[in-house]
Amino acid sequence: MFNEKGGGDMGVQDVCVIGGGFGGLTAAAIMAQSGQVNVTLLEASREWGGCAGKFSRGAFTFPAGATLGLGFQEGGIHDVINTRLGIQVEKTLLDTVMAIHTEDRTIRYFRDRERFLEEMDSHFPQIDEKIRAFFQHCWRIAAPMNRLSASFPAVPPVSAFDFFHSLKQIKPGDVKLGFYIRRPLSWLLRKYGLEKEEDFIHFIDGLLIDSLQTSSEKASCLLAAYALDIYHQGAYYLSGGLYKSAEALAGIVKSSCGKTMQGRKAVRVGKKDSRWVIEDHRGTSYTADHVVFNVPVEALKDLLDRELYESLPKRSKKDTGGQWGAFTLYLAVSEEVIPDHMPLFQQVVSGIGSPLAEGDHLFVSVSDRNDRYRAPSGFRTLTVSTHTDVEKWNDRRTYDEHREKMTDYMLQRLKTVLPRLEEGIVHLLPGAPRAWERFTGRPGGSVGGYPQTTGNSFFRDHPHKLKHKGLWICGDTVFPGAGTMAVSSSGYHAARSVLRSVST
Task: Quick: pLDDT tens for 202-223.
Answer: 999 999 999 999 999 999 999 9
Phi-psi map region of 42: left, alpha, beta (phi>0 left; psi -120 to 50 alpha) = beta
pLDDT of 200 over the 60 cut? yes
Q: In angstroms, rounded to a whole number, what is the distance separating the alpha carbons of residues 365 and 375?
A: 14
The pLDDT of 286-293, averaged and rounded, is 98
Task: Band the pLDDT of 182: cuts 50, 70, 90.
Answer: very high
Kindly state the average pLDDT of the residues 140-169.
Answer: 94
Mean per-residue pLDDT for 475-481?
Answer: 95
**Residue 380 β-bridge partners:** 333
| 66-120 pLDDT tens trace | 679 999 999 999 999 999 999 999 999 999 999 999 988 999 999 999 999 999 9
The confidence band for 228, taking pLDDT boundaries of 50, 70 and 90, is very high
Beta bridge partners, 124, equal: none
All structural domains of the chain with their residue ranges: 13-89+241-319+446-503, 111-234, 321-445
Q: Provide mean pLDDT across the span 165-181.
A: 91
User: Under CATH, domain 13-89+241-319+446-503 is a member of which superfamily?
Assistant: FAD/NAD(P)-binding domain (3.50.50.60)
Could you please report the per-residue DSSP string of 203-252?
Answer: HHHHHHHHHTSS-TTTBBHHHHHHHHHHHHH-EEEESS-THHHHHHHHHH
pLDDT of residue 26: 98
Q: Which of 371, 439, 339, 408 is nearest to 60 (CA)?
A: 371
Query: Average pLDDT, whole number, for the chain?
Result: 94
Residue 4 pLDDT grade (very low, low, confident, very high; cuts 50, 70, 90): very low
For residue 111, the model assigns a pLDDT of 98
pLDDT value for 351: 87
Which distant-in-sequence residues (6+ apart) come within 8 Å of 446 by Cβ? 296, 320, 321, 323, 324, 325, 390, 433
Architecture of domain 321-445: 2-Layer Sandwich (3.30)
The pLDDT value recorded for residue 439 is 87
DSSP for 454-492?
TTTSGGGSPPSB-SSTTEEE-STTSTT-SSHHHHHHHHH
Residue 9 banded pLDDT, cuts 50, 70, 90: low
Residue 5 reports pLDDT greater than 60: no
- Cα 4 to Cα 1, 126, 284, 500, distances in angstroms: 9, 70, 8, 27
pLDDT, mean of residues 388-397? 92
More confident residue, 290 or 176: 290
Cis peptide before 125 (omega within 30 of 0): no
- Give pLDDT tens digits for 323-343: 999 999 999 999 999 999 999
**Cα 501 to the chain's mean position, in Å?**
27
Angle ∠(161,165,170) on CA atoms, nearest 5: 150
pTM of the model as a whole: 0.95
Diameter of the chain by CA atoms?
A: 72
How many other C-beta atoms can be found within 10 angstroms of the C-beta atom of residue 233? 17
Residue 182 carries which side chain, given as an amino acid letter? R
**What burial class does residue 494 get, using C-beta atoms within 10 Å of its C-beta: 0-12 exposed, 13-18 middle, 19+ buried?**
buried
235: left (phi over 0), alpha (psi -120 to 50) or beta: beta
Residue 244 CA to residue 369 CA, distance in Å, equals 18
| Pairing verdict, β 379-388 and 471-473 | unpaired
Q: Is pLDDT above 50 for 57?
A: yes
